[in-house]
């Protein structure tokens, strides 16, 4: 899967991402064509679990401040605002297209007229692995509730196909895309004014508690018939504009303490992938390194310079909570920005992550294989 000798290029490649102002050019080098692929889909269905990084409209009707169904969100999406927390497509959307689906996966909130045999998006903005995460923002659908929703969908699929056995045979061929955990830090652990977790756990203990709870959720999905899992690690949250504004020291540097806490979680998630692959021989779990770096990398102490390239702010004018101010015009050069608001990546950044997740050049990005190999199993 990985070219012999390519690992020696990894430090230069990462530094190019960190230092090159025209970081979007790396997307063109990695992926010369659009993410859409014609022909038969590579899997029969995709089920998406997560938070605002993947939400496609599940929060629209909830009583919450965490919703994005208004301009300027969706300004580059064909149908305009949908509830996606970005200017265009999410990473999950790009993966869906890369896998050959003609249409994007619909949100659970709008499945009444949808073909559930092709998949469902359960992701909900502000949600987390923990049930209490994001509760200060209003209603949301935690990972546990997302799995409960999938249980209902799995039952409907089994009924359509003629029984539980046939339903499970069908579901085991599908891709389970899971990208969650950011809010357990941004909207929980790093908010001591709202949550007590940082006084109960040190960062090591909190990451371990999260992984243990995450593991139970994944086992619940396995029991429902899931067999192909793509688990996304967390981005360097200490480099998110909101964290720089609220927890930074006024410079352009990332918040190191937050990045180190995130990388503890990522290390444990990769370890969980090994554990689950050993435990469940009929399933395959992969880890996608959204941080593009590991806690053991010598580049970690220098990663703060990334903000000198990508900028301290997002592309839209934001409210006090870091979300885009309604009906205000965003920046024109959205393809050159990493963040759209104070939390969420632009479509260009989502495209970049999806490209690496689907077809990885180096083992550090997708382990033990990328999505393109996972779906062939």
d(CA 86, CA 344): 6
The number of residues making up the chain comes to 377
Task: Give yes or no: 351 in active site.
Answer: no
Rounded mean pLDDT, 231-240: 94
- The residue annotated as part of the active site, out of 217, 341, 351, 360, is 341
- Mean residue pLDDT of the chain comes to 88
Mean pLDDT in residue range 3-9: 33
Q: Which CATH superfamily is domain 6-374 in?
A: SGNH hydrolase (3.40.50.1110)
Residue 275: half-sphere exposure toward Cβ, Cα within 13 Å: 13
- Residue 5: pLDDT band with limits 50, 70, 90: very low
Q: Is 344 a catalytic residue?
A: yes
Which residues have CB under 8 Å from 34's CB, separation 6+? 97
The string of DSSP codes covering 219-270 is HHHHHTT--EEEEE----GGGSHHHHHHHS-SSS---HHHHHHHHHHHHHHH
pLDDT exceeding 90 applies to what percent of the chain? 75
Residue in 52, 135, 182, 290 annotated catalytic: 52
Q: Give the residue-averaged pLDDT of 258-268.
A: 96
pLDDT of 16 strictly over 50: no
Contact criterion met (CB below 8 Å) for 35 and 291: no
Q: What per-residue confidence (pLDDT) applies to 33?
A: 44
**347-358 vs 91-98: helix axis angle to the nearest 10?**
50
pLDDT in tens, 174-188: 999 999 999 999 999
Residue 254 pLDDT class (50, 70, 90 cuts): confident
Domain edges within the chain? 6-374
DSSP sequence for 36-94: ---SS-SSS-EEEEESTTT-SSTTTTSSBS----STTTTTTSTTS-SS-SSSS--HHHH
Q: How many CA atoms lie within 13 A of 29 on its CB side?
A: 9
Establish whether 341 is a catalytic residue.
yes
Q: Is 165 helix (H, G, I), strand (E, B) or coil?
A: helix
Q: Is pLDDT of 168 > 80?
A: yes
State how far the Cα of 56 lies from the Cα of 104, in Å rounded to an integer. 9
Q: What is the mean pLDDT of residues 239-251?
A: 84
Q: Cβ(118)–Cβ(44) under 8 Å?
A: yes
Marked catalytic residue, from 51, 344, 351, 360: 344
pLDDT at 64 over 70: yes
270 and 244 Cβ atoms separated by less than 8 Å: no
What is the C-alpha to C-alpha distance for residues 157 and 206, in angstroms, rounded to an integer?
A: 37
What φ, ψ does residue 284 adopt, rounded to 5°? -140, 125
Q: Contact at 8 Å (CB) between 186 and 240? A: yes
* Integer Cα distance of 227 and 7 in angstroms: 29
- Which residues fall within 8 angstroms of residue 377, CB to CB, at 6 or more apart? 228, 284
pLDDT of residue 312: 64
At 302, is the pLDDT very low, low, confident or very high (cuts 50, 70, 90)?
low
Q: With cut-offs at 50, 70 and 90, classify the pLDDT of residue 292.
A: confident
pLDDT at 313: 79
What burial class does residue 45 get, using C-beta atoms within 10 Å of its C-beta: 0-12 exposed, 13-18 middle, 19+ buried? buried
Q: What are the Cα distances from residue 331, in Å, to 15, 110, 187, 338?
A: 26, 31, 26, 12
Confidence of residue 304 (pLDDT cuts 50, 70, 90): low
Q: Quick one: average pLDDT of 226-248? A: 93
The answer to whether residues 76 and 87 touch, using CB atoms and an 8 Å cutoff, is yes
Sign of the Cα torsion 223, 226, 227, 229 reads negative
Residue 261 has pLDDT above 80, yes or no: yes
* Residue-wise pLDDT tens digits, 320-367: 999 999 989 999 999 888 899 999 999 999 999 999 999 987 778 999
Question: How far apart are the C-alpha atoms of 107 and 233, rounded to whole Å?
Answer: 22
pLDDT band of residue 38 (cuts 50, 70, 90) is low
Specify the pLDDT at position 245.
87
What confidence score (pLDDT) does residue 179 get?
98
């Amino acid at each position: 899967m990985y070219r012999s000798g390519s690992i020696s290029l990894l430090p230069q490649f990462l530094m190019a991402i960190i230092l090159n102002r025209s970081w979007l050019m790396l997307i063109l080098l990695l992926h010369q064509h659009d993410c859409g692929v014609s022909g038969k889909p590579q899997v029969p269905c995709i089920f998406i679990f997560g938070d605002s990084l993947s939400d496609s409209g599940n929060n629209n009707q909830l009583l919450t401040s965490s919703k994005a169904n208004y301009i300027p969100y969706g300004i580059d999406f064909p149908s305009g605002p949908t509830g996606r927390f970005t200017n265009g497509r999410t990473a999950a959307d790009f993966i869906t297209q890369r896998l050959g689906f003609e249409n994007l996966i619909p949100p659970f909130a709008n499945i009444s007229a949808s073909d559930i045999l092709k998949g469902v998006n359960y992701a909900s903005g502000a949600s987390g692995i923990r049930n209490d995460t994001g509760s200060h923002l209003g209603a949301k659908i935690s990972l546990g509730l997302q799995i409960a929703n999938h249980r209902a969908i799995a039952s409907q699929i089994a009924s359509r196909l003629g029984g539980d056995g046939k339903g499970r045979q069908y579901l085991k061929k599908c891709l389970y895309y899971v990208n969650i955990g950011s809010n357990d830090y941004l909207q929980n652990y790093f908010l001591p004014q709202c949550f007590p977790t940082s006084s109960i756990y040190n960062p090591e203990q909190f990451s371990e508690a999260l992984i243990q709870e995450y593991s139970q959720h994944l086992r619940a999905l396995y029991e429902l018939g899931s067999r192909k899992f793509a688990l996304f690690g967390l981005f360097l949250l200490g480099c998110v504009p909101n964290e720089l504004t609220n927890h930074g020291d006024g410079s352009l540097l990332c918040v190191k303490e937050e990045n180190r806490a995130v990388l503890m979680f990522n290390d444990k998630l990769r370890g969980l992938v090994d554990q689950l692959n050993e435990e469940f021989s009929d399933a395959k779990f992969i880890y996608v390194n959204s941080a593009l770096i590991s806690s053991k990398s010598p580049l970690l102490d220098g990663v703060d310079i990334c903000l000198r390239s990508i900028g301290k702010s997002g592309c839209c004018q934001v409210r006090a909570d870091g979300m885009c101010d309604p009906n205000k015009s965003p920046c024109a050069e959205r393809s050159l920005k990493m963040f759209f608001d104070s939390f969420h990546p632009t479509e260009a950044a989502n495209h970049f992550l999806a490209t690496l997740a689907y077809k990885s050049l180096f083992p550090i990005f997708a382990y033990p294989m990328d999505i393109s190999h996972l779906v062939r199993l």
